[in-house]
Structures are given as C-alpha cells and as structure tokens.
A and B are shown apart, each in its own frame.
Chain A
Amino acid sequence: MSTPHALALQAINVSKRFGALQALDQVSLKLRQGSIHALLGENGAGKSTLVKCIVGFYTPDDGEVLLGERQQAIGNPRDAHELGIGMVYQHFTLIPNMSVLENLVLARPHLPAVIDWKKERQAIAERMQSMPFQLPLDASVNHLAAGEKQKLEIVKQLLLGVKVLILDEPTSVLTPDEADEVLGRIREMTRAAGLSVLIITHKFREVMTYADDVTVLRRGKFAGSAEVAGVDIRQLAEMMVGSEFSQTALARAAVAEQPLKLGIDALSVADDSGMSAVHALSLQVKAGEIVGIAGVSGNGQRELVEALAGQRPPSGGTIRVMGETYSGRRRELLRHGFHCLPEEPLRNASVPRMSVAENLAFRHYDQRPFSLYGLLRRSRMAAAAVQAIADFKVRPPLPNAPIGDLSGGNVQRAILARELGEQPNVLVVANPCFGLDFTAVTEIHARIMAARNAGAAVLLVSEDLDEILELADRIHVMSGGRLVYETTPAAADPIVMGRHMAGHGETAHAD
C-alpha cells in the first residue's frame, strides 16, 4: 500500500451554477492515492456535476482542481486524459457495431493514419494479460452482456494507463455477483497498482464494503466526509438526506380475504424481432400481496409488462383477471380496476405533448364527468387535475403544461396520480423508482404499499433488488424469460438471487 496520505486528486471549493440552479456550492473532495473514494448523494445532489468539473467536461465557476499537489487547468476531457484521469460514464460510450478490439484501439489518443490490425491485436492481447478482466477481442460489442460492457469500459481506461479512474454508478446494470467481481478487482488494482478510484454511487452496501473514504453531497453542498471504517449506514443516510431522514418501516397490514386476482398461465411473449422473450410463464397474485419479479434488464421483463398492459400481444398462454380472460382492452382495464405503471412513464404511459390534465384523464376521459354526450369537458378535467397535482405534489403545479416538460420524477408522480388516484384492484408496476431521488422513492413505495394494504394485487417488476426486498411479500427471479427461483424477503439471500439472475452464474448473452 502506498503512503495513505498522499493525495491523487483534490477538488477545492468547486462551485458551478446552471442558470438559476446552484448545482455545486463550494464543494471539496480529497482522493487519497491508492484508495477508493465513494461519492454519495441523492439524485440531483451534484455528484455528476462535480466529477464533470474534475474531468473538464464543465468549467467550474469557482474553485480549483489539484492533481497530486499541483493545480491543473483541465479544460476538456482530453486534457484530463493526458493527465491520467479517466472516466467511465453511466451511459456506455462504446460503439456497438464495432468489435472489442476496435473499441479498445479507438480509445487511444494518437491513432496512426493507417491501422495495422495484426500489430494492434498482438499488443492489446499482451497487455490484456495484466488486466483485471479478460474479454473476447473479436466479439462485437452489441453481443456483450451489460456486465461485460462495463468491464470493457473499465479496461479501456486502464489500457490508457490512467492513474485516477472515475466511475459513474458502475454497478447499476450489474447483478450483485458481477458488482462484487468488478468492485473487488478494482479494489485489488488500487492496492497493487496504486490506482486511485472515485466512484459515484447510491448503494450503501458498496460504499461500506469497498470504499476507503466517502464524501456525501446534499443539494449541491458538501454534507460530510469520512473514512468508511468510522461510519455506519445510518450516519451516511442522515448526511445524504439531512434531518428529514426518518426510516419509517412500511406498515404491512394483514389482509384477511385473499382471493386470486391475477392469474398468468403459460404465457409466452415474443420480442420485437419475433424471438421468444417470455417462455410459458405462470404466476399468481392474490389480493393484498405484492409479488416481486427481480432480474437483470433484458430477461423478458419488458415484454411481460407490455403483454399485461395490452401493448404487446402474447404468442401463447392466458392471462386471467378476477377469473375472467383478459386481453388488455380498455373496457377490461376499467371493469377490473386494472392499473399499470410501466417503466419510463414518459414514453410508455403518456403523450408527452399533451397537457398534464389530459394525460391524467386518460382512464376516464370518455365518461362522466369528463365527457358529456361525446363532448369533452376540459374545465372538469382541469379541476380534477389540480386536485391530483396537489395530492401527488407534482411540480410545477400547472395542469395545462405539456407533460413532457416536467422532470422525470414529476412525470412519474403525475402518472402515479392517474393510476393510484383511485384504489386499484390489480396493479402492475415496473421499475417505478428508476432515476428518482430518495424522498420520491420513499413516497412511491409508501403508495404502493398502501394500495396493497387496501386489497390490491400488486405485481412489482424491478431491477432494484433492494426495492423488491423492501416491498414484496413473495419474490420470483426472472432470467431468460422464465421464473427461475422463488423466495420470500425474509429468506432471501442477495448472492443466491444474483446467481439466479445471471442464469446460475453463466454469463447470459443478451443477443
């Protein structure tokens, strides 16, 4: 281990303002050489803004970035590269139609005019030996699974010889197993090769297990910094959300009568290319229970939810709601009180250019009081929207603004207002909290739980294992279009579940 107090990188009093928004206000951070430093914070706390200031993507309004002990002017990401700072972005910057080899070569700053592939392949194959991950050089990147892509991004930076590696939520697309592998190897590299790593995350478990130090941001301000060995999760959570933090365990009421409400029998669904994505899946959800479906994205969850929402015709099997055959028609949705909250609600559950009020009226626009003798009554819609907006705290509270102009969290709230504004009988929810901040997540979870307690049958499809463990009464793991494992939150072991998510530890190629 290198001297524990030598600093690899230091940000001092960095501020950045976008228009009226003070995204960063006098934030400082010290990254020790050969350590992993976690940057923790809610969505919109300024984590990404800070690292983007460090790598020169943004120019800070105030403050400075020191590399080692020297002040460095980093004008753009290229400068950062020259100085040995590499960043892996949350959205992959790989080129899907090119091979692993081509992607690795392309990343090099000074490419020769004509590329000698034989020589490049040999050089990279040799250097690959010392890398923490091995990758097939000739595979096309679009045939790699998400985990392999993440590894490739990291290898790409390491091959460039970076000394400081910045990772933006590197484990968001990985199974717990893969996350452990990636973070474990990176930790080895910090010990062995003196690599210094700054990692943006919102997962406490990863901070506690892998990071040496942690800095917490809250609403663009420095909220605290500590050695991980000296803090516990509760302290970190308090730093993250401030004094508002109060972890109220969600009240899980026992529901006496539990008739079967949603029955799926041998359901098969094809994906866009006609390949079978869901294979003969059977599942039952009773009144007053939340059934969670965990899994890594791309294992048929999207197709399953679309089939339930009536957006995609099943290729086989039956769906029964309240004992009746269900095919996702509007009339059935209304009669059975079937509500669906798909992922990416802006794309899947709203018309972005129509107003919030119109979007809120989708379920009942053709019934009284919104419609009378075939004519829409906009004033009634607007009045109902004002109420719903107030109930669900949609901001800004403008019923006539196009819903597409709202932020992601507020679109989610608006759609939630539509689907949970009346008590659902059957509720299908997919990744309801993707990209939302801590406060919004807590609120949405509470509402889903309330719907369950009032007797709804809830099917929760989520890539967030913590969310499933918190909410579900029963848990299925979905992999390769099948339910491969069943457990309960009390008995669940995340590592075992992770193995099942990854198809028993085999790398699932999402082809």
Chain B
Amino acid sequence: MSGDTIDWITVLIAVFGGAIRVGTPFLFVSLGECLTEKSGRINLGLEGNLIMGAMAGYGVAWISGSPWLGVLAAGATGVLLGFVHALLCQQPRVNDIAVGIALMILGTGLAFFLGKPLIQPSAPHLPALHLGDWSDNPALRAALEINVLFIVGVILAPAMAWFFRSTRWGLAIRTVGESDDAARAMGLHVNGVRMLATMAGGFLAGVGGAFLSLYYPGGWSEGLSSGQGLMAVALVIFARWDPVRCLYASLLFGGAGALGPSLQSVGVTWGYYLFNAAPYVLTLALMIAASSTRVRSGMPGSLAAR
C-alpha cells in the first residue's frame, strides 16, 4: 500500500518535470504561432521550422562548440522560412494554409537531407539550472533540472502579452490581425507587419527546435519531432491567442506527453504506447472543444473572417 503511494508521487513529480521538459518546445512554437496568428495569418509551416531549427541548431552547436550559437542559428533558419511563408502568402490569392503545409514538408525534407552527417556527432548541450539540489529525492532532483530556455520562455510569455497590450508595435500587429481595412485606414503597411510577425514567429519556432536537439530528447535524428509544430496550432486556439495561456497550455501538453515515460519509469509497462498518445488525444479533444463559439472569442478578426 505504502509502496503504491510513493510510486504515484514519483509519477506526479516525473510528469511535472516532463511537463517542463516536453512543454518547452511547445511553448516556443506556440508563442511563435500566436505571434503569427495575431497578425492575421496561420503558419502551419512551423513544424518545418521546428525540424529545420533542430537540425541547424545541432549542426552549428557541433561545429562552433557553443550551444547558444546553435540556438541563434536555429532561430535564423526559422526567420528565413518565415520570410518565405510571408512572401508567398502576400501574393494575390495564395492560401496561407496551403503554403504552410508545403513549407512544413519542405522544411522537414530539407532538414533530413542536410542533417544526414549530423546523426553521429555529439554537440554540446544547453545548460540547465539545478534547482533541486536541496532534495535527496532523485526523482525530484531530476524534475527540477530546469533548462535555461524554459526560463526564457516563461519570461517571454508575459512579455509578449505586455507587448501586444502596451506597445505601438503590438497594437499594430493586433490591428492588422483584426482587420485589413482598419489597418489600411490607419496607414499601416499590412503585408509588412505580417511579414515581420511571421519572421519573428518563425524565429521562436526555430528556437523551439534547437531545444529538441540540444537539450531534450537531445541529438539529431529524423524522429526528433513528433508533430509539436502542428499541435502548437491547436494549442494556440486552446489558449485563445493569449501568450500567457500559451504557457499554461504548453505545460499541459508537456505533462500529457510525459505521462507515458513517467508511468514506465515506475514500472507500469502496460499501455505505454496508449499513454504516449495522450498529447494527440488531447489535441483532438481541444479541437472539438475549440469549435464552440465561446472559445473562438479571442480569435483575430482576419482569421475569423475566412
């Protein structure tokens, strides 16, 4: 009986640690998607950004020896893909969803192609803060090993909310996202604002990719991403286009993703694949919930007007 209790606490701690570890890439991609969607465009290509970012980040970190240069490189590839997305979408009668899917496939394929030589070498990992050293519980210590990028993300989420609320640039992005006409009447350059927002969003998604290859699960392989870039789209809807809620939603998705491994670590072996499917089940459930009109209330007008 008492053994059972300890096991469940371990599972909870592991899910908590996993929520942070698995949730960080969700956080960056969803913040990137949130930024892009606030400007009135959906970029489904962020999955491609994520994988390209993972590959480029790993490659640059390996060559330069600095994981932070890797993160920057990952962001830069994201900016580039974001630029291509925005450039294609601003052509007349081009659909952003279709462009996004094309770029997702392009990014993934390109990353696999360019990343072939990166499967063997080992690049330096990103540093983590050991916040659990006071405890002698190994599970807790492992869970409290918090990556620096996560901290950055935790600061970034409210900062982005403030940016949308209280800066000229943030208001410009929201205006463009709400109504082309209103933005033009204000003299805003609609395509320009969207391009910058898509590029910045691409940067964040790229950084999310660097986390995958440079921290957790670490290393470069073709199975590195399991669709986080796509699920982030659902996550942004769930978060009602609010960066701070993106943070909570990422942790929720991360926790769901960590459920399978955590249960396995305490010896629950049945249903491993079933529990691993938790994030996807969650995505489906959220998409169904999101079709209710109440949830759509925060939706940028340009997206709602489709």
Chain A interface (Cβ within 8 Å of chain B)? 76-78, 89, 91, 93-98, 102, 105-107, 111-115, 117, 272-274
Contacts and interface: CB of A to CB of B under 8 A. Distances in A.
B300 A97 contact: yes
A114 B186 contact: no
A111 B170 CA distance: 12
B182 interface: yes
Interface in B32-68: none
A113 B179 contact: no
Contacts of A274: 293
Given A106-B186, A273-B293, A93 B179 contact: yes
Given A96-B179, A98-B178, A113-B167, 14 more contacts: A91-B181, A93-B179, A93-B181, A93-B182, A93-B185, A94-B182, A97-B298, A97-B299, A98-B174, A113-B168, A113-B169, A114-B166, A114-B168, A273-B294
Contacts of B298: 97
Contacts of A114: 166-168
Interface string B170-192: 01001100110110011100000
A442 B8 CA distance: 78
A97 B178 contact: yes
A76 to B, nearest CB: 8
A76 B185 CA distance: 10
Given A77-B187, A95-B174, A111-B171, A117 B166 contact: yes
Contacts of B171: 102, 105-106, 111, 115
B168 A107 contact: no
11 contacts: A78-B187, A95-B175, A95-B178, A95-B182, A96-B178, A96-B179, A106-B175, A107-B186, A111-B171, A112-B168, A273-B293
B293 A115 contact: no
Contacts of A98: 174, 178
B153 interface: no
Contacts of B182: 93-95
B62 to A, nearest CB: 39
B168 A95 contact: no
Interface in B262-306: 293-294, 298-301
Contacts of B181: 91, 93
A96 B301 contact: yes
Query: 3 closest Cβ contacts across the A-B interface?
Result: A273-B293, A95-B178, A93-B182
Contacts of A95: 174-175, 178-179, 182, 301
B272 to A, nearest CB: 40
Nearest to B301: A96
Q: Determine the main DSSP class of A at the interface with B.
A: loop
Contacts of B166: 114-115, 117
A106 B172 CA distance: 9
B185 to A, nearest CB: 5
B282 to A, nearest CB: 25
Contacts of A105: 171
Contacts of A273: 293-294
Nearest to B182: A93
Contacts of A115: 166-168, 171
Contacts of B167: 113-115
Residue of B169, B178, B294 with most chain A CB atoms under a 10 A cut-off: B178
A111 B188 CA distance: 12
A98 B164 CA distance: 11
A77 B174 contact: no
A97 B301 contact: yes
B216 to A, nearest CB: 36
A105 B174 CA distance: 14
A94 B165 CA distance: 17
Contacts of B174: 95, 97-98
A485 B299 CA distance: 38
A114 B171 CA distance: 10
Contacts of A96: 178-179, 301
Contacts of A106: 171, 175, 186
A105 B165 CA distance: 12
Nearest to A272: B293
Nearest to A94: B182
Nearest to B171: A106
A74 to B, nearest CB: 14
A102 B172 CA distance: 11
Nearest to A91: B181
Contacts of A272: 293
Nearest to B298: A97
A95 B178 CA distance: 6
A85 to B, nearest CB: 13
Contacts of A102: 171
Interface in B141-179: 165-169, 171, 174-175, 178-179
Contacts of B293: 272-274
Nearest to A78: B187
A76 B184 CA distance: 11
A406 to B, nearest CB: 21
A335 B225 CA distance: 60
A268 B167 CA distance: 46
A295 B165 CA distance: 37
Contacts of B301: 95-97
Contacts of A112: 168
A105 B175 CA distance: 12
A287 B212 CA distance: 73
Nearest to A273: B293
A468 B175 CA distance: 39
Contacts of B299: 97
